[in-house]
């Protein structure tokens, strides 16, 4: 399995700009979360630890050319998919594709922004887990990758997880990034207020949608239709990854799906993130996480369905 771009970022912690709260218990847990889907402002070690993008940053970004950094292996899934995805989805800036070597030459040029996969681990994290992120970064006078300002960062998977487990969702994640940038550009007040409050208040009503789930991403207590119906009374369907990909490509407004970031069959027993988002516009409908252990497998749990049913 090929690694994502050969960039590894050590982060002291993650400062969130976006979070989805489900109830008061989850609110207290959210304070401990290291990574979130969407609008995560990754901490920049050195001088930008509490950095939040400004209106000036957004204006600068809109004037850049976005360079997509390809992986070294020309036949990897990311490279084979991202070119078509950018052509279909990306409208806010001109874009092109570059190699890792070209990135090293261009990263200090403020006329460029960069869309790229990175490897992220967290200093002091005893699990020693490494995560793949999709980053949207600003170029400029920054010598290292970890100093470059993040416009947006999205967790994709653990390092070592086969790209087939998440690459089919890449289109909607890019869609989310673009929509978020446009939202900040048109509503700069979100840059100076509590932006996760905005997303929390605008979280979708899952009861009006059909929830698409993949059987091998659910715990054994809830991996059949009969078991799910006992605790979740709303529309759902157990599907293949190909069916989720079709819903994303067709922008099916009726479909929401699970984006699970877990250790899969890697050696790590760390966090399992569970995010439900729209196939049409990448709107968030649910976010939670748990630590993987013998009682809480790397799966969407019965307790998650119970929380959804109470929303």
Helix, strand, or coil (residue 201): helix
Tokens linked to 106: 């261009």
At a CB cut-off of 8 Å and minimum separation 6, what does 116 contact? Answer: 5, 7, 68, 69, 103, 134, 135, 137
CA distance linking residue 52 with residue 54, whole number of Å? 6
Bridging pattern class, strands 65-69 and 112-122 = parallel
CA distance linking residue 136 with residue 284, whole number of Å? 19
At a CB cut-off of 8 Å and minimum separation 6, what does 66 contact? Answer: 90, 93, 94, 95, 96, 112, 113, 114, 115, 136
31-61: per-residue pLDDT in tens? Answer: 333 334 333 333 322 222 345 677 788 889 9
The alpha helices in 67-221, defined as continuous H runs, are 77-89, 100-106, 170-186, 195-201
CA distance linking residue 176 with residue 280, whole number of Å? 10
Question: Is the backbone of residue 3 left (phi > 0), alpha (psi -120 to 50) or beta?
Answer: beta
Residue entry with tokens 């009861």: 207
Check residue 187 and give its pLDDT: 81
Helix, strand, or coil (residue 18): coil
Check residue 48 and give its pLDDT: 29
Mean pLDDT along residues 20-38: 34
Helix, strand, or coil (residue 136): strand
68-77: per-residue pLDDT in tens? Answer: 999 998 889 9
Instruction: Give the phi and the psi of residue 213 in degrees, each rounded to 5.
Output: -135, 145
138-162: per-residue pLDDT in tens? Answer: 999 988 888 888 888 888 999 989 9
Q: Is the pLDDT of residue 182 over 80?
A: yes
Check residue 4 and give its pLDDT: 39
Check residue 28 and give its pLDDT: 36
Q: Is the pLDDT of residue 289 over 80?
A: yes
In the chain, what percentage of residues exceed pLDDT 70? Answer: 80
Mean pLDDT along residues 9-25: 37
Q: Minimal CA–CA distance to 203: which of 62, 87, 85, 36?
A: 36
Residue entry with tokens 């390092």: 159
102-127: per-residue pLDDT in tens? Answer: 999 999 999 999 999 988 887 777 88
Q: Is the pLDDT of residue 169 over 90?
A: yes
pTM of the model: 0.80
């Amino acid at each position: 399995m090929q690694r994502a771009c050969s960039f590894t970022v050590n982060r002291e912690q993650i400062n969130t700009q976006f979070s989805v709260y489900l109830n008061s218990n989850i609110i207290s847990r959210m304070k401990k979360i290291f990574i979130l889907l969407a609008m995560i402002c990754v901490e920049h070690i050195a001088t930008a630890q509490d950095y939040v993008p400004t209106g000036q940053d957004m204006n600068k970004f809109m004037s850049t050319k976005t360079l997509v950094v390809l992986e070294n292996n020309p036949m990897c899934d990311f490279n084979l998919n991202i070119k078509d995805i950018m052509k279909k989805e990306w409208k806010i800036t001109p874009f092109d594709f570059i190699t890792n070597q070209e990135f090293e030459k261009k990263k200090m040029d403020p006329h460029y922004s960069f869309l790229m996969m990175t490897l992220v681990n967290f200093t002091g994290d005893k699990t020693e887990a490494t995560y793949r992120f999709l980053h949207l970064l600003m170029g400029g006078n920054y010598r290292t990758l970890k100093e470059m300002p993040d416009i947006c960062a999205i967790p994709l998977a653990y390092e070592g997880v086969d790209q087939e487990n998440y690459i089919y969702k890449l289109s909607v994640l890019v869609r989310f990034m673009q929509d978020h940038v446009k939202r900040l550009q048109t509503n700069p007040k979100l840059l100076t207020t509590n932006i996760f409050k905005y997303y929390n208040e605008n979280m979708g009503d899952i009861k009006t949608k059909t929830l698409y789930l993949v059987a091998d991403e659910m715990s054994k207590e809830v991996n059949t239709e009969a078991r799910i119906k006992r605790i979740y009374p709303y529309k759902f369907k157990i599907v293949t990854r190909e069916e989720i990909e079709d819903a994303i490509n067709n922008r099916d407004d009726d479909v929401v799906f699970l984006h699970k970031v877990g250790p899969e069959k890697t050696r790590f027993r760390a966090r399992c993130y569970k995010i439900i988002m729209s196939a049409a516009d990448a709107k968030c409908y649910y976010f939670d996480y748990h630590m993987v252990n013998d009682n809480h497998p790397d799966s969407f749990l019965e307790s998650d369905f119970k929380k959804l049913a109470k929303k």
